[in-house]
Structure 1
Amino acid sequence: MTAPRFDDPTQWMIPTACVWEVMARKVGNVHPGAAFRDADAVSFLLSAAVVTPNFGSRGDYEDVGGTVLACVRRTRAVVESNTNLGILLLLTPLAHPGAPMDREGFSRHVLNTERCGVAAARDVYEAIRVANPGGLGDAPEADVRAEPTITLLEAMALAADRDLVARQYANGFADVFDFGVPTFLDALRRFGCVEAAVIDAQLHWLAEYPDTLIARKAGAAAAADVQRRAADVLRLGGISSADGRRAGVELDRHLRSDGNRLNPGAVADLITACLFVALRERKVAPTAPFRWAATDWL
């Protein structure tokens, strides 16, 4: 089957990426079988639905920050918690009309002072205040409670060492293009369905990068511990083996043992970005098989 026709392909790519991410039974994250106190799968599905028009109807948007802010305001009209600030900070530049999906071309086209300047920083700061995510804005430099005097790119560079989403603005989305997308596509070839590919990709992300949301909420040692545990799951064969799946289930229990302080939310946002890039590059179709049939998983 061919992809559906829309005036703007982001009208189906963005919700598809968001829906795939939350529907996949990833360790420690919200999915249809696991919720947090202030958010469940429906919260994320509603968030995806309400922000899509800001991309489809604003196909000529020039300012990354303005779109992020408009989408955060739409989201807070339907959910009470921060479900998608990180996702929006990643998807907004990636979904920019005409943006090349090679890293160097993308950086030149979108990650510049015209689209990510001081005005964009002002809107993103306001979006952060509206979304009120845990831990962001606590650094003394470029405090989001103050009026910005630097560009969005400069603000993201200041936060790059403590936030995986901000790091993408500083490195031209290298982790998305060079690590995340190939990792997902490799898993898709091996497993033949989107859900298993997303789960496998998440484990590889967690083993490669300490999740910065965990680090902000529970400390760097906790994030490093999760990284080691994910690497252990992969050493046992990951979700390809019964031992790896058992270890993955144990990792999920650990991540849910302290409320949602160990929620690997930064990696979840990055996975959504990777899914969008794979869709935009036509490396995967929205009609691809989704559900993973494993009976010994979450």
Structure 2
Amino acid sequence: MSAPLTSDAVATAFHNACMAELDALKPGNVHRHADGHGMEVADFERSAAAAAPAIAAAGLSVGQRIEAAVEATRAVVSHNTNLGIILLAAPLAQAALVSAGAGLRQALTLVLTSLTVEDAKAAYRAIRMAEPGGLGTAREHDVTSDPDITLLDAMRAAQSHDRIAWNYAHDFVDIFDLGLKWRAGGTERWGDVPWVTTYVYLGFLAHIPDTLIERKFGTHTASDVLEEARPIEAGLSQTHMPQEMAAPLAAFDASLKERGLNPGTSADLTVATVFAGALIGG
């Protein structure tokens, strides 16, 4: 395995990933080009700064990272801004503190298979603290009660209706096999610019039904949003001047926000992709 990163380096990578996501025009989500859903960019900036040290702190378990990062976030904002980001980032941070670079993916697999019941209890407390929208209830292992299974098993139980849980159950394959591929392709075409992050986001939005929308509005609405995203994603993927897509992206952004549709899971996967890319790059 490759050499691990320091806590400071992991914290910086996490904070930078959150900032990169805010810089990108992401239809339906909060970004520097337009607020939405009763939230402002400043809420997410404060959240990122607060959560970064907890995500990267030395000596914590994954569950402790999740709980500490959510607690730090709720100390600076009064609503959920980053629970999904934290859930995805905590195992990646844990892996990077063991092995970054080319060894990150292998280290992550070991982190996920080593998750404990205590990790699950801490994560459940964090979820209750964050009070995310569209959570609903589950017949088994509902977050309103303390779990008696590992965090990985809890995620496996939830994977059918939550793409973050699905990624826990599948070694973050969306990040490593999709998100990082889109990121590399966008960077090769346009350079290291915010449009690359927009491209990653649209990749998730156009290829995987957003499970936050699915839980809040149903499978048909999630499928409709996916279909609406596809021609815009295709247009962006084919152009050498991504700024030419600013108008259709802004129109799609306004349309989603008018309908109250926030593809939050796609945004969470985007941050995790940028974070993973930074950890691999050292």
- Alpha-carbon distance in structure 1 between the residues aligned to 2:278 and 2:187: 13
Partner of 1:190: 189
Q: CA deviation at 1:267?
A: 0.7
Would you say 1:82 and 2:83 are equivalent positions? no
In the alignment, is residue 216 of structure 1 matched against residue 226 of structure 2?
no
Number of matched pairs? 273
Change (3 A) 1:137 1:125: farther
Residue identity opposite 1:27 in structure 2: P
Residue type matched to 2:50 in 1? Answer: V
Quick one: which amino acid aligns to residue 252 of structure 1?
D
1:53 aligns with 2:65: no
Identity percentage of aligned residues? 37
CA distance in structure 1 between the aligned counterparts of 2:254 and 2:195, rounded to whole angstroms: 19
Question: Runs of 5+ in structure 2 lacking a partner?
Answer: none
Do the aligned partners of residues 166 and 67 (structure 1) sit closer, same or farther apart at CA in structure 2, a change above 3 Å counting? same
- Partners of 2:103 and 2:35 in 1: how far apart? 36
How far apart in 1 are the matches of 2:78 and 2:49?
15
Provide the residue aligned with 2:110 in structure 1: 109
Residue in 2 aligned with 1:41?
41
Q: CA, structure 1 residues 55+256, in 2 after alignment: closer, same or farther (shift >3 Å)?
A: closer
Deviates more, 1:33-42 or 1:157-166: 33-42
CA distance in 1 between counterparts of 2:238 and 2:31 reads 17
Matches within 5 A, 1:275-286: 275-282=274-281
Match of 2:70 among 39, 62, 72: 72
Query: Could you tell me how far apart the structure 1 residues matched to 2:14 and 2:92 are?
Result: 10
Name the counterpart of 1:256: 257
The separation in 2 between residues aligned to 1:30 and 1:280, in whole angstroms, is 25
Answer yes or no: is the 8 Å Cα contact 2:67–2:122 preserved in 1. Answer: yes
Q: Deviations over 1:61-103 (max 9, x none)?
A: 2x21111011101101110110111001111100111145557
SS at 2:258 equivalent? coil
RMSD between aligned residues: 2.1
SS class of match (2:8): coil
Name whichever of 229-238 and 239-248 sits farther off: 239-248
Aligned pair in 2 of structure 1 residues 38, 105: CA closer, same or farther (>3 Å)? same
The C-alpha deviation readout for 1:150-177, integer Å capped at 9, x for no partner, is: 1111110111111111111100001101
Higher mean displacement: 149-158 or 31-40: 31-40
Between the aligned partners of 2:45 and 2:59, the Cα distance in structure 1 is 25
What CA distance in whole angstroms lies between the structure 1 residues aligned with 2:200 and 2:127?
27
Q: State the structure with bigger RCO (CA 8 A, min sep 6), 1 or 2.
A: 2
Kept after mapping to 2: 8 A contact 1:23/1:31: yes
TM-score relative to the length of structure 1: 0.85
Cα separation, partners in 2 of 1:102 and 1:247, compared to 1, 3 Å: farther
Residue 236 of structure 1 and its aligned partner are, at CA, apart by 4.0
Query: CA offsets, 1:257-279, max 9 Å, x none?
Result: 123xx111101011111101111
Specify whether residues 164 and 60 from structure 1 end up closer, same or farther in structure 2 by C-alpha distance, changes over 3 A only.
same
Post-superposition offset of 1:250: 3.0
Answer whether contact 2:167 2:173 (CA < 8 A) is retained.
Answer: yes
